[in-house]
Structure 1
Amino acid sequence: MKDFLKTGWQLWVSLNAKVDDLAIQFLDELVFSQYADEFIDSYDPSVIGSSLGSARLGFLPDELLLAIFTQFVMDCNSPWHLTLVCRRWRALALGAAALWTDITLSDSPPSNAHGIDVWRIHHRIRLVSRGSTTVCETPPVFEDALKRARSAPLRLAVRLSQQNINDLKNWYSVLAQSKGVSVRTLEFDTSPFGVGFLTALCQSVEVRNLEQVVTYAPRGLPPLLITALQTGQRLTSLNVPFELFLRLDRDDVGLHLRLKELATGFPARNLADFDNVISKYQKLHRLRIPFGIWPGCRSPHIKLPLLETLSTQCSPCHLGKVDFPVLQTFFITINDRECLCRYQATASYCFPCLTELNIVPTQETDTAWIRDMKVPSLERIAFDGESFPADPPVVLPAVPRLKYFLMATIAAFPLSDETFRSMSSVENVILFSLSDDLVLYEQTLYALFMDMPCPRLRTLTIGTVPHFSIHIDLYLKQVVRSSARRPPLLEHIDVLWKDYGLHRYSVDPDD
C-alpha cells in the first residue's frame, strides 16, 4: 500500500500539475490497488520515499485532498467514511459542501456492486469517477446531509420502497423543513412510496431548474414532476424510457437545442420513430442505448456532428450509415442475429477522432471489420465478452498511437499469433480471465516475453490466476531482472492471484 501512496506523492512533487489532473493520476494507482473502503481501513499517514526523506501524506495541501475525496469515493461509500480517519480529514470532509451534494435515499442497506476484479481492470484503463455519494437510510441522516450541502445544487437519487406510514411522514417532514434546496439531477423509480416522496419533493424543493433526469419507468410519475419536466428550460441530460423521451420531445419545443446527453431504449417496432427523432438532436455529445438495436437495417443516414460518446448494440455492417466526425469513445455490443444484412461484405469504417473502442463480441462475430477500421487516433481498445470468435482471429487495426489493449473473458484468451503481431504499438496490456487453467496463463506470458511481439510494452496486468504458481513467479522475476528477456521500456508486471491477491513485479530502473 505504501508503494502506491509513494507513487502518488512523487507525482505531486515532480509534476507540479493542476490539482484535478493530479488527483486522477494519484487515484489511478490508489483505486487499482485497493477499494476505497479498504484504503480507509488500512490508511497509514506516513509515506517515506528514498528521495523524499520524511515526506508525509498528511502534508498534502487541503485543495488536493478535497479533490481526491471528491473523485474517488465509490457509489456504495460516503463522505462519512472520510471523517473516521483523522481529525484533519474529518474537518475537511465536514467543511466541504461539494462532498455532500450527491445524495441517495435508500431504505435498504447498500450493496457493493463493484466487488469484482473486472471493476479493477476496467478502471485501470479508464478511471470513471462518480464522485462521493452520501447514502441516507433514515430521515435524520438525510436531514444532516442537507445541512452539510447547504445551498449547493443536489444530485438526488430516490430509491425508497417501504410503505410504513410513520416512515413516510418522517421523510416528508425533512422536505417540509428544507429551505433553499435546489435539485439539479434527479434519479428515481416509481414505487408507491417513491411516487409519494416525489410529489412532496416537487411541493417543497426547487425542481424547475432540473438539468438531468434518470428514471426507468415511464408511467406513474407525479403530475407536478411531469409539469416541471415539460416546462423546464434547463434539461441537458436524460436517461429515461423511450415513451417519456417522445413525450418530452413533443411538449418541449426547445429540447433538441439543449439536450447534450441521452440514454434511452426502445423495442424493435419503434426503430423508425427513434430514427426520425434522433436526427433533430444535433447538439448531442453523448448517446447511450441500453436496449434496442441502432442503427438498424432500415435506418437512414444520420449525422450527429458533436457526438463524442456512443454506446449501442448493432450489427457492424450498419456503421456505414452514421457520420460522427468527432466521436471519441465507442462502446459497441455486437448484435446481428436479426440483421438482414449480416452476410454482406463490410466496408472500412472511418472515425478520425476515435480514441477508445470497447467491443462486446459474440461467438459468431466476424472480426474483419475491426482490422479494417480507419481510426488514426485510437489509443485504447477493449474486448469484453463471454465468448469470442475462433476464426478469424482478433486482429487490431494498424494505428501508431495504440497504448492500451484490454481483453476480459470467462474462458481462454483468444490470442493467436496474428493477434500478437498486430499489437506491436501497444504499451499497456490488460488480460483478465475466469479460467482455472494455469497453463493458459503460462502460455500467454511465454508468448509475450519470448517472441516479444510488443516491443513498446510498458505495463502488463494479468489475472485472475487460479492459484499461486512458483513456476510463474520465478519466470516473471527472471523477466524483470534481465534486460535481455524483456522489452526495453517495461516498467512492471501486475499479477492478480486468486489466493494471493495483487502482486507487482517491478523493473529496477538501474538494471
Structure 2
Amino acid sequence: MDHPRPAFQNLDISFIDGLPDDIFLLIFLELSQKAPPWLMGIVCRRWRSIVLSCSQLWSTIIVTDRDSLLRNKWAIHKFCQRLEAQLDRAASGVLEGTIDVYHLEEEYSGVPASKLEMRATLLRIISQIHRFSSLHLNGNCLELDLLPSIPPTFSHLQDLSVFHPSWFDTGFLRNTPILRHFRTNGVPMAALHALHWTYLSVINIEDSSAHLTALLDAFRAANNVTTLCMELIERDDPGVEIPHTTSVQLAKLHKMELAFYGWSPSDSCVLPHLLGYIRTPHLQELDINDCSGDVFHVVQLFLFSSRCTPMLTRLHIQTMFLDQQHTKILADLLPDLLSLKSLSVGSSLSSSDDEEDELVDIDAIVDVLNEPKHGSQSQSSIICPLLEEMEFTQVAVSFRAISQLLETRSPAFIGVSQATRDTLTDIQADHPPDPVLTSLRMIATSFTDSVVPWEQKQQWSLSTGIRGLTEQELIRYIQKKNDDSEGQCAPE
C-alpha cells in the first residue's frame, strides 16, 4: 500500500504503525491544531477510519491561502470540498480556527466576488461563525463581501485575534459577551465589549493622538484584564499631541509584556504617553523586550508612578544590545523590589564582533544584590530577600560577584549564558555542589583554550544550547579534556 506524505503549512506527515487507535487519536487531536483532519485521513485506510470516527477532530477550521495547495482551480475546488465536508462532520459542536484571506484578496483584486469559487465556502463558514470559541481573522473581508447584514452573537467566543480593521465593519464583532482573550494590531477595540477581558495583546501601536485616546478608552473599559501585552514597531512620524484624558487604573493587572522594536525617544513619543496614563498597582510580572536604555528609564518611571515596585515578583529584561545605562537603572531599581523572586537580564547580541572582553559588565547589578540594607548582615535585610532565580545572558560577570552571591543567599537557580571562561572555571573549582542550588547553568563562549573542571558525579546541570551540544556530549568532552591534562586520556 502506498503511503503518501502530503504537506500543509510546512507540516510533514509520514505513515507509522504499531500503535493502538486511542494513541493515534490523541496524536491526531494534537495535529488538528495545525492541519485539517483530512490530511491524516488520506495517509492510509486505518487512519481514515480513526479520523472519521471522531467529530471532535473536525472542529478546527483552517481557511488560509498561504500554502501550495491552492496553486490552481482544481486544488481550490478540492480544498473547498474538504472544508464543507469538515463543517458537516463537525455537526453542531463548538468550533475554533482561522480565516485568513490576506493573499486571496491580493491575488483576486478586481475580480468580482461572485466569481470566486472559494467565496461560497467562506460564506457558509461565516454563517456558522457564531459557533466559534477561538477565532483568528486576517485579510480584507470587504473585498470578498463576506460580512452579513445582521451581526451575529458570538455566544461561545472566548479567544479572538483580529489583524485587519475590515472585520469590524457593520458591527460584525460587536456582540462578544464572554470574550476573554483579545489580540489585535491597532484596530478599533472600542467596538468590542471589553468588560470580561482577562488577556489583551496590542501590537504595532500607531503614532497618532486619536489612536492613543482610543487605546486608553479600550484599556479603561477592560478593567478586568490580568495580562496586557504591548508591542511598538519603529515609527518615522514626528510625534503626537498629548491627549486630554484621565489616567487608566488597571487594578487587576498582574502581568505585563512590553516590546519596543527599534524604538527610541527621537522616533516617537507615544510610548511615554501611553505608559504615563496607565496605573497598575498590583502588577507582579513584567517582561521587557528590545528596549534601549532610554526606554528602560521610561519603564522605571512607569513602575514608580504605578507604585507597584513592592509587588513585583518577576522582572525579565531582554534587549538587542545591553549597555551600561540598563545596568545603572536596574541597579537603582533593585532596592525597591521587595518581593522580587525571578530576575533575568541579557542581550541577544554582543555589542561588537569581539568576544568576551566586549560583553557588558553587570557586576554592578550583582553587587547591589550582595549588599545588606543599612549595613545589616541578616538574611531578611538584604536587597531583594525573596530572590530565587537569576539568569544573565550575553554578559560579563566576575567570579567575585557570583561567589559572593552564593554566599549571601540560597538561590534555586542561577543561569549565566556567555560567561567568561575565568568565571566558569573559578565557580566550578571553588564551589562544590549545593543541594539548595538545583541548577547552576553556565554556557562558556569557547572550550578550545580552557575547559571547566567537571566531574560527572556532580549534581549541577550544564546547559549547552548555544553550542548545539547535548549535556551528555559536553560532559564527555570536558571529562576527556581533564583526563588528557592528567595524562589519562580515555579511549575513543
TM-score interval w.r.t. the shorter chain?
Answer: 0.5 to 0.7
Letter in 1 for 2:222: Y
Comparing 303-312 and 82-91, the one that deviates more = 82-91
Return the alpha-carbon distance in structure 1 between the equivalents of residues 216 and 22 of structure 2.
49
TM-score when normalising by structure 1: 0.58
In structure 1, the partner of 2:103 is 161
In structure 2, the partner of 1:307 is 253
In structure 1, the partner of 2:331 is 368
Q: Can you list the C-alpha shifts for 1:374-399, whole angstroms capped at 9, x where unaligned? A: 25362464645446854664436634
Give 1:158 shift.
1.2
Give 1:103 shift.
3.9
In structure 2, the partner of 1:481 is 456
- Say which SS state the counterpart of residue 105 (structure 1) adopts: strand
Return the alpha-carbon distance in structure 2 between the equivalents of residues 446 and 272 of structure 1.
55
Q: Can you list the C-alpha shifts for 1:94-146, whole angstroms capped at 9, x where unaligned? A: 65555554444322239xxxxxxxxxxxxxxxxxxxxxxxxx99434534544
Structure 1 unaligned residues grouped into runs of 5+:
1-35, 46-57, 111-135, 434-439, 484-488
The answer as to whether partners of 1:393 and 1:419 remain within 8 angstroms in 2 is no
Give 1:282 shift.
2.0
Give 1:449 shift.
1.7
In structure 2, the partner of 1:236 is 180
Relative distance call for 1:441 and 1:189 in structure 2 (3 A) is same
Identify which of 284, 288, 300 aligns with 2:229.
288
In structure 1, the partner of 2:66 is 108
Return the alpha-carbon distance in structure 2 between the equivalents of residues 228 and 280 of structure 1.
19
Q: Can you list the C-alpha shifts for 1:154-188, whole angstroms capped at 9, x where unaligned? A: 23241441334699733223245568562333323
Return the alpha-carbon distance in structure 2 between the equivalents of residues 343 and 310 of structure 1.
14
Letter in 2 for 1:458: T
* 1:402 counterpart = 2:402: no
Relative distance call for 1:190 and 1:343 in structure 2 (3 A) is closer
Structure 2 unaligned residues grouped into runs of 5+:
1-9, 69-76, 235-241, 260-270, 352-358, 370-382, 476-492
Letter in 1 for 2:135: L
In structure 2, the partner of 1:486 is none
Give 1:257 shift.
2.3
* 1:427 counterpart = 2:412: yes
In structure 2, the partner of 1:414 is 396
In structure 2, the partner of 1:49 is none
Relative distance call for 1:479 and 1:280 in structure 2 (3 A) is same
In structure 1, the partner of 2:80 is 139
Return the alpha-carbon distance in structure 2 between the equivalents of residues 394 and 74 of structure 1.
46
Q: CA RMSD in A?
A: 5.3
Identify which of 279, 282, 285 aligns with 1:329.
285
Relative distance call for 1:504 and 1:425 in structure 2 (3 A) is farther
* 1:227 counterpart = 2:174: no
Q: Can you list the C-alpha shifts for 1:411-440, whole angstroms capped at 9, x where unaligned? A: x4233443564465443455556xxxxxx5
Give 1:244 shift.
0.6
Computing the radius of gyration from Cα coordinates, the structure with the larger value is 2
Q: Can you list the C-alpha shifts for 1:59-104, whole angstroms capped at 9, x where unaligned? A: 8x958983x7766x69866767877999988766665555554444
Relative distance call for 1:101 and 1:342 in structure 2 (3 A) is closer
Return the alpha-carbon distance in structure 2 between the equivalents of residues 195 and 448 of structure 1.
63
Q: Can you list the C-alpha shifts for 1:285-310, whole angstroms capped at 9, x where unaligned? A: 221211289xx999976532221321
Relative distance call for 1:140 and 1:64 in structure 2 (3 A) is closer
Letter in 1 for 2:412: E
Query: How many percent identity over aligned positions?
Result: 15
The answer as to whether partners of 1:275 and 1:300 remain within 8 angstroms in 2 is no
The answer as to whether partners of 1:79 and 1:100 remain within 8 angstroms in 2 is yes
Relative distance call for 1:276 and 1:369 in structure 2 (3 A) is farther
Relative distance call for 1:339 and 1:441 in structure 2 (3 A) is closer
* 1:504 counterpart = 2:468: no
The answer as to whether partners of 2:398 and 2:423 remain within 8 angstroms in 1 is no
Relative distance call for 1:93 and 1:445 in structure 2 (3 A) is farther
Give 1:359 shift.
1.3
In structure 2, the partner of 1:257 is 195
Return the alpha-carbon distance in structure 1 between the equivalents of residues 404 and 28 of structure 2.
42
- Say which SS state the counterpart of residue 360 (structure 1) adopts: strand
Return the alpha-carbon distance in structure 1 between the equivalents of residues 417 and 294 of structure 2.
27
The answer as to whether partners of 2:421 and 2:444 remain within 8 angstroms in 1 is no
Alignment of 1:444-459 (within 5 A): 445-452=424-431, 455=434, 456-459=436-439
Letter in 1 for 2:172: A
Identify which of 132, 145, 167 aligns with 1:183.
132
Relative distance call for 1:169 and 1:337 in structure 2 (3 A) is same
Alignment of 1:1-400 (within 5 A): 62=22, 66=26, 95-109=53-67, 138-147=79-88, 149-150=90-91, 151-162=93-104, 163-164=107-108, 169-175=116-122, 182-191=131-140, 194-197=141-144, 199-200=145-146, 202=148, 208-209=154-155, 210-218=157-165, 220-221=166-167, 223=169, 226-242=170-186, 244-246=188-190, 248=191, 255-264=193-202, 265-267=205-207, 269=209, 271=212, 274-275=215-216, 278-291=219-232, 302-312=248-258, 322-325=279-282, 327-333=283-289, 334=291, 337=294, 350=308, 354-361=312-319, 362-363=322-323, 364-365=325-326, 366-376=329-339, 378-379=341-342, 381=344, 383-386=346-349, 390=361, 393-395=364-366, 398-400=384-386
Letter in 2 for 1:312: L
Q: Can you list the C-alpha shifts for 1:465-501, whole angstroms capped at 9, x where unaligned? A: 67xx5777xx56x624244xxxxx53x3232364x54
In structure 2, the partner of 1:11 is none
Return the alpha-carbon distance in structure 1 between the equivalents of residues 228 and 463 of structure 2.
34
Query: What is the total number of aligned residue pairs between the two structures?
Result: 393
Relative distance call for 1:169 and 1:92 in structure 2 (3 A) is same
Letter in 1 for 2:317: I
Return the alpha-carbon distance in structure 2 between the equivalents of residues 154 and 385 of structure 1.
35
